[in-house]
Structure 1
Amino acid sequence: MSNVEGNDTLNTLYEVSLRGSVSELETLIGRDPLLLHRISLTSFTETPLHISALLGHLDFTNSLLTQKPQLALETDHCSRTPLHLASAEGHVEIVHVLLQTCEDACLMSDQDGRIPLHYAAMRGRTEVARQLISGAKSESVMVFDGSGKTVFHLCVEHNHLETLKTLVQVGNVREDFLNSGDFHHGNTILHLAVMFKQIESVRYLLSISKIKEEANIQNKMGYTALDMLDQVPKDMRSLQIKLMLVDAGFKNNENNQVHHPPSASIIDVPSSRTQNPNEKFWSNSLKRVNKLLQLKSGRLEEMRGMLSLVSTMISTVTFGVVMNPPGGDLSIHPLLQMQYREMFASFLTMNTISFIASLGVTLLLISGVPLRNEVTMGLLSVGTGVCLTFLVLTYIYAVPLNKNLHFGETFSVLFSWLGLVGAIVVFTIIRVISKLAKVL
């Protein structure tokens, strides 16, 4: 057979693999008995068995393995065997046939360091995972992938709880292996389940005695599973998980907590003399102020992005107004007559104050200054209020310049704004008084 005819036959073989036609395969092999042995001499990255395993052609796979069993160990350009592909796609019967032909394939890793079981875990192929463990090499459940994760990590990471349960039940792994951390961050499967807020996964993992016993195991950052909740946005799921962990006896790592010296170490220091009433009054006053300043504001961190967006928007608007002032080209516009000059100067003053205040708020937000107490939040709120107030005044002066209206026609906007500001001020005063009352 010439080289041209041989290449044509190989091309036909791959086309037949896509269709999964056993009769056509037998016809091709009848014409050229050495056809399957010449596959390794071609430039194709996959073998026909890779294609058959990927597409789920069971009879075609059986026929190929009967003719040449060694195809089960051939790899593609990613170093994946046909078993990798069949496992990822969930073709249980093909997985069974491949394992009967060569069970060693279940321990072969691809270029990412993953064996077929890793792909079954990632894709949630529960029956394939069961087949790979119980039908071949049970030790495959203990293999880490190239990124240092176990099959249990992959199940949690891709949220496949049923597959995780099957691996735990069938895998016959050491219980301490379930508490293994990944190589990069040292996160256990419980760390991941908490981080991804998988309530059912957390509940199941807490039912495993060894995991519950190692309640306060830490990752490489020194975080316990309970600490992980402080690193994710708060919602009802995180609260529910926190209650579950606390009930199970989990604790925060005290080394990660910010501790302030107890008041006794500051005020009630044993002394050879008795404090007089004035000293005691000022000491207690300083103590209360310190407590007030140390109050953390979770609301502030949530407001950081919003304040930054608002201040940037105001800066953009006020800058644009200067570049394109109301009324168009002021050098030729009739509104530049004497009666409008004073009005335009006031408009420009209000706009400039709003512009500078908004830049100040933005600068404070991006400067890296710790924003941890109510005082800083108050300063940011006042700064934003100044921006908005003078933006309202800018609007009041801009309307007459544009439409030749009188001030009286725009004062309703000012009065509405003052009413809103007044309501917020009253609310803030009540809130501050309430906080002071609690501290005192």
Structure 2
Amino acid sequence: MAAAEKKLYDAATKGDLATLQQLLRQDPHLLDAVSFPYSRNLLHIAITHGQVRIAEEVLKMNPRLARILDSQKLSPLHIAVEEGRLEMVKRLLVVAPETCWWRDGHDMNPVHVAAMDGNVEILEELLQQDLFPAMERLRRGQTVLHLCVKHRQLRALKVLVQKLGELVCARDDDGETLLHLAVRCNQLEMVKYLVQITKLDKEATNLMGKTALDILKESPKDPTTYSDMRRILNSLSDHSTLLGILPKMTDITMVVVVLIATMAFQAAVSPPGGVWQDDTPSHRAGQAVMASTHPKMYKHFVNANTTAFVSSLVTIMLITTGLPLEQFFFLAVATTAMWLSLTSLGVGYGASLIMTTPKEEQSLGYIVAAVVSVFLSFLLLLLLYLSVNGLRSSWRRRSADRSF
């Protein structure tokens, strides 16, 4: 190393700004011409040694150095992130924001490096600049969230899940979710956190057809974490069986309940038998004919129609307001409301049928009994199937437990 370069290096590492400025006044081209080990320039050296004043001076004189990579494909921003230099990261993001996307020799951009190191403050600064680099995949299709799990960075994972919620469902090239990886890496705290995320499919299988619980059974037993992790994953399996009792709330469900609400509203303004067209001492124009001719039956019709309308609105509200329908309570409420609206629609149909075909009249009690019987029969068959299926799954789990 030449004498001038040695003096420049010493000034940069020791923070001697006066000597640095003097050397560069003597030779203005020295800043561009000098190269240190690993093909690093003076900005790389200053950042590595935490000399912020030197780095800022270098950037003022030659901002192009912020875009120069060393022999390991590390940009100054990579080094600043790796060394935890928050102020330097902020300065570099102003000068060269595009380096957020650049990959180093390990195929990682600065966001990946910050997540791996668990530097939450720097990670939040980078995400504030641009969220998209955090969505870039690593080797074998892993995401920055997989990287957090692998390196035990729970705080960084929480920040990223908050910012990039949908990415939590991503799988790597082996089809493994974050929960698969957390179990494989024996990360109990990660597992506790991940099972609380409603978007994450806890029963997902990888390309080998294995769930997180299957991976745990095949892993060496760690006495400090195995029992707790087994209990958590078993409860997930039981919860999934419980959720199997109820249907999934889909777009089709939304269409059905909207249709029921529309039908109930239409029946309210256009009841069976029509409305009176004139005013008389016994009725007014616009009132339902059925209310005068069959008052008791009309009362049953109104009750059933109102129940169908209100329960449909409840289901619509639960689906559209973003409540966690993956949780059993909210899903049970939504499903009960949907079934209630369907049952009430059947009762309302029966009342309308009696009103419009009096010669073939059946009692409302018969209609209600028929609707309820069909409903309960379906529910009983469903519960019987799920009970048998649940007992079979429990027997399989107990058999698997005895084999370990």
Instruction: Tell me which interval the TM-score lies in, with the shorter structure as reference length.
Output: 0.5 to 0.7
Give the C-alpha shift of residue 72 in structure 1.
Answer: 0.9
Cα distance in structure 2, aligned partners of 1:118 and 1:192:
17
Q: 1:21 and 1:186, CA in 2 relative to 1: closer, same or farther beyond 3 A?
A: farther
The TM-score with structure 1 as length reference comes to 0.52
1:352 is aligned to none
Give the C-alpha shift of residue 295 in structure 1.
Answer: 10
% identical equivalent positions: 33
2:149 is aligned to 156
Q: Does 1:50 align with 2:50?
A: no
The TM-score with structure 2 as length reference comes to 0.56
Checking the alignment, whether the CA contact within 8 Å between 1:156 and 1:193 is kept in structure 2 is yes
Q: Does 1:124 align with 2:124?
A: no
Structure 1: runs of 5 or more not aligned: 253-293, 300-440
Counterpart code for 1:193: A
Could you tell me which of 188, 204, 219 is aligned with 1:217?
Answer: 204
Q: Does 1:71 align with 2:65?
A: yes
Give the C-alpha shift of residue 129 in structure 1.
Answer: 0.8
Cα distance in structure 2, aligned partners of 1:295 and 1:61:
61
Structure 2: runs of 5 or more not aligned: 241-398
Q: 1:43 and 1:199, CA in 2 relative to 1: closer, same or farther beyond 3 A?
A: closer
Q: CA RMSD in A?
A: 2.5
* SS state at 1:210 partner: coil
2:216 is aligned to 229
Q: 1:196 and 1:146, CA in 2 relative to 1: closer, same or farther beyond 3 A?
A: closer
Cα distance in structure 2, aligned partners of 1:195 and 1:233:
10
Q: 1:206 and 1:149, CA in 2 relative to 1: closer, same or farther beyond 3 A?
A: same
Counterpart code for 2:197: I
* SS state at 2:171 partner: coil
Give the C-alpha shift of residue 96 in structure 1.
Answer: 1.0
Give the C-alpha shift of residue 179 in structure 1.
Answer: 2.0
Could you tell me which of 164, 171, 175 is aligned with 1:181?
Answer: 171
Cα distance in structure 2, aligned partners of 1:193 and 1:75:
34
Cα distance in structure 2, aligned partners of 1:98 and 1:167:
22
Cα distance in structure 2, aligned partners of 1:250 and 1:20:
62
1:374 is aligned to none
Could you tell me which of 46, 56, 75 is aligned with 1:81?
Answer: 75
Q: 1:27 and 1:150, CA in 2 relative to 1: closer, same or farther beyond 3 A?
A: same
> Deviations along 1:143-181, whole A, 9 cap, x unmatched?
112343211111111101011111222x3x252x21222
> Deviations along 1:179-222, whole A, 9 cap, x unmatched?
22223x332211111122222211211221101xx122222222
> Deviations along 1:262-316, whole A, 9 cap, x unmatched?
xxxxxxxxxxxxxxxxxxxxxxxxxxxxxxxx999757xxxxxxxxxxxxxxxxx
Matches within 5 A, 1:15-414: 15-39=10-34, 45-134=39-128, 136-169=129-162, 171=163, 173-175=164-166, 177-183=167-173, 185-211=174-200, 214-234=201-221, 235-249=223-237
Cα distance in structure 1, aligned partners of 2:141 and 2:66:
26
Cα distance in structure 1, aligned partners of 2:216 and 2:126:
35
2:350 is aligned to none
2:9 is aligned to 14
Give the C-alpha shift of residue 225 in structure 1.
Answer: 1.3
Give the C-alpha shift of residue 89 in structure 1.
Answer: 1.7
Checking the alignment, whether the CA contact within 8 Å between 1:155 and 1:164 is kept in structure 2 is yes
2:273 is aligned to none
Length, aligned pairs only: 245
* SS state at 1:209 partner: coil
Cα distance in structure 2, aligned partners of 1:69 and 1:227:
53
The structure with more radius of gyration: 1
